[in-house]
Structure 1
């Protein structure tokens, strides 16, 4: 099932959420490329297998700034940095940080899915991934359901900016596909820039990295490396 119409984030998020609650899988637009997401444990396992995911790869939580603030545990300066980047500067960002194990949404994750989603004491979450993701996260928060996912592509084949580039085997596993056309953030490459906020280490060089790098130095005096791929 595929929607080819003018984007309507609230309406489309409701349609996606109903599919996810029934154990389905969705391919959705994120500002940094297309993602694949699920709530149900079996659906997440199907995604893992279909993507040919290696055991060390992790699911990320599909979230929002509000969910990040509620689940992640950060000191004041690091919390301020996330707000600056994702709210004030309106950038997409993968936030890796310690999390609240007692949070109701975390408590809903089956043990094996939790083990596939955390590294040591950290959980990765995409923050500010676009209007549809924000609305989808709002619905998941209201029902205290964990929305997990990753990029909609075979592992190692690169994040896709348009649905047409997604591999057929990935498309086939989805119960609903929301197509918003080409996604806007891709410089220097698709996928979100990801930072481990325990150490301010760059985990992944992704979209808008040059802006993130400049903001960290300009406003906080934090120097991170130049992107080795540019």
Structure 2
């Protein structure tokens, strides 16, 4: 068997052409596989395939550059994101107030925006790996909103291998990019998600122990210990304040 060559720039370019034509893609990230789209109809097909409940939210597939363009945070909170995603090079799910007047956000139809934003905030995976960074760069260049969630049936957990993704999800995709096992697969896949508006942890995820240490060491924030997947499989902290974002699902 001929060896596969991984080339994020070329692979992201092929995927982006599919997405611009209204397609759906299963893509790799350092924290697991995601299923993404730009077109509203394609996003709805993903929603149906995942068997999601109406209150579940799309997340934006992004990068640190897109975070800077769309999110609005005070200097202290912006510094936290930079520390985690840039200085420490960690994958991070960022929830923060967003610029709803930005051209990318303006291209979201009202129904998609309603499924992507809560009280003016937007969830975005930042620093998800070279492939995602390139795909996000292409979407940002053309001012297109790239949205999605984890490539799995709702409640079944983020997948770190393409072959573990349920057939219902694989079948809805027009293109699948297989980079093998996700880099951050233990002790949890998916991204650690943090609400930087309310300074609140929303989900235990990849590299959480490093995030926990950094926020304490540099900002004096005392974060709870991860109880482990045996106790809290999804990693989502289920309470009324953050329930809305409990299944944005990206890696």
TM-score using structure 2 length: 0.89
The equivalences for 1:77-226 within 5 A come to 77-226=76-225
Which residue is 1:17 aligned to?
Answer: 16
Once the two structures are superposed, what CA deviation does each residue of 1:130-176 show, in whole Å capped at 9, x if it has no partner?
00000001100110000000000000001000000000110000000
Measure how far apart 1:78 and its partner are: 0.5
Q: Which segments of 5 or more consecutive residues in structure 1 lack a partner in the other structure?
A: none
Residue number in structure 2 paired with 1:66: 65
By how many angstroms is 1:198 displaced?
1.1
**Displacement after TM superposition at 1:223 (Å):** 1.2
Query: 1:26, 1:38 within 8 Å by CA — same for their partners in 2?
Result: yes
Question: Is the partner of 1:74 in helix, strand or coil?
Answer: coil
C-alpha displacement at 1:27, in angstroms? 0.2
* SS of equivalent to 2:209: helix
Q: State the Cα RMSD in Å.
A: 1.0
Cα distance in 2 for partners of 1:119, 1:222 equals 24
Whole-angstrom CA distance in 1 between matches of 2:48 and 2:72 = 31
Distance apart, 1:119 and its partner CA:
1.5
Which runs of structure 1 show a deviation greater than 4 angstroms over 4 or more consecutive aligned residues? none
The TM-score with structure 1 as length reference comes to 0.97
Q: Is the 8 A contact 2:33 2:159 kept in 1?
A: yes
Match of 1:6 in 2: 5
Alpha-carbon separation, structure 1, partners of 2:186 and 2:84: 16
The 5-angstrom pairing of residues 23-38 of structure 1 reads: 23-38=22-37
CA distance in 1, matches of 2:211, 2:186: 12
Number of the residue aligned with 2:233: none
1:56 CA displacement: 1.4
Report deviation, 1:77: 0.7
2:220 & 2:198 partners in 1: Cα distance? Answer: 14
Q: CA deviation at 1:226?
A: 1.2
Q: Number of aligned residue pairs: give it.
A: 227
CA distance in 2, matches of 1:49, 1:97: 27
The 8 Å contact of residues 100 and 120 in structure 2, kept in 1 or not, is answered as no
SS at match of 2:99: coil
Q: Secondary structure at the match of 1:68?
A: helix
Distance (whole Å) between structure 2 residues aligned to residue 194 and residue 188 of structure 1: 15
Deviation at 1:187, TM superposition (A): 3.2
Q: Report the equivalent of 1:39.
A: 38
Local SS of the residue matching 1:123: strand
Deviation at 1:5, TM superposition (A): 2.3
